[in-house]
Amino acid sequence: MTLTPESLPDGYPELRPGPPWVTEEMVAAEPGLVEPIWAESRAAEAVADRVRRALGAGNPVAVVGCGTSEHGAMAVAALIREGLQERGIPSWAVVARQALEAALDPWPGLCLAISHEAGTRATLAALEAARSDGASTALITATPNGPCAVAADLVFTTPLVDRAWCHTVGYLSPILAGGRIGAAIGGRELAASTVRAHLEAAGAAAADQAGPVAAGIAAGGPLECAGSGTDAIAARELALKVEEGVQRPAVGRDLETVLHGHLVARDAQSALVVLVTDGRAQERRLARAARCLAAATRIGIRTAAIVRDDVPVQWAAAAIGVRMAVPRGEGLPQALAALTGSAMALQHLTLALVRAAGTNPDLIRREQAPYREAAALAEDG
């Protein structure tokens, strides 16, 4: 049975007949996340202290999650490493892990979980396994009374629960929390106003540019998303948003990985989006990204690039069909600038692709019985 607005179970997103979608409203609300998250100084310092203690004892820090929260975990790990590097502290032991794997093979030290609604079974299992193994546990969530919170020694609460299941707030919130924790670890004074100004500038730029980019890659088959450094995280998140919201096959991979066999399965019906917003080692990343775009163009794949706004217009121009420019984030640490700027770009691009496809991103098809029942099977296991 296909659900109607009148027959929606409790806890479902609003089922609207057409745009504006709830997902759009969530994206528009995101700049307002910054100040409340930056005000959580006590929680940020508490997590930072747990990180220092784990590493000081020679133990690892595992940052875990599933789905969008897995990408959030990757981002938080990168931001913690950035803070440690600012202090000259070795950061290799801070690792993002998929929650199920962390549950099956718990590590000592600290298990920092990302779970927007604090109810994901695998994430709860990871926290419980880590605690049983003697590790410290922490949680970043918008739902501090959820099941995962019971298994966490401390909770960093973010201010807004995503009202759509194509999670956007659920991706950006842990990034901002990770940036706040990274600042605490690095001993860096970073004003909320600086972060918010970057988010607003990145959102405005993305809103202006997303339509033409979506038009360039909208029609056709699978979408390949690729990036290096923090852009590998953004590429995975873009692919997930496209599959959830646009209902189009997509995959996110490391930039170099794409060049080692995967293009064989692509043709002129496919599209490629390459992200280069991470300013660290930018020259080498740009060089490999240009090769990837050139290889795709030779096959006939439609291409797009999401780059920092200081990348010259002539860079790889012959191989780029359409291009988005992300503000570089003056005054921000480079990983935080890249992750927040690319989040705005990928979310606005997703919304533009949603408009082109005419899909409803909010319920990720769970108003339809097969997808609702499939989700129940996954969640009950």
Q: How does residue 285 score in pLDDT terms, banded at 50, 70 and 90? A: very high
- Return the CA Rg of the chain: 20
DSSP string, 178-235: HHHHHHHHHT----HHHHHHHHHHHHHHHHHHHHHHHHHH-SSS-EEEEESTHHHHHH
Q: Could you give the CA distance from residue 190 to residue 215 in angstroms, rounded to a whole number?
A: 37
Determine the pLDDT at residue 173. Answer: 98
pLDDT at 373 over 70: yes
Task: Output the six-digit token pair for 11.
Answer: 């806890």
Determine the pLDDT at residue 34. Answer: 98
Q: How does residue 1 score in pLDDT terms, banded at 50, 70 and 90? A: confident
234-272: b (≥16 Cβ within 10 Å) or e: bbbbbbbbbbbbbbbebbbbbbeebbeeebeebeeebbb
| Cβ-proximal residues to 146 (8 Å cutoff; 6+ apart), any chain | 115, 117, 118, 119
pLDDT at 381 over 80: no
pLDDT digits 0-9 by tens, 188-229: 999 999 999 999 999 999 999 999 999 999 977 999 999 999
Are 165 and 362 within 8 A, CB to CB? yes
Determine the pLDDT at residue 354. Answer: 97
Are 166 and 351 within 8 A, CB to CB? no
Determine the pLDDT at residue 380. Answer: 67
**Average pLDDT of every residue of the chain:** 96
Domains and CATH numbers, the chain: 22-186 (3.40.50.10490), 209-357 (3.40.50.10490)
What is the torsional sign of CA 61, 182, 207, 23?
positive
Q: How does residue 5 score in pLDDT terms, banded at 50, 70 and 90? A: confident
pLDDT digits 0-9 by tens, 91-147: 999 999 999 999 999 999 999 999 999 999 999 999 999 999 999 999 999 999 999
pLDDT at 232 over 60: yes
Are 242 and 271 within 8 A, CB to CB? no
What mean pLDDT comes out for the span 224-247? 98
Q: How does residue 86 score in pLDDT terms, banded at 50, 70 and 90? A: very high
The model's pTM = 0.97
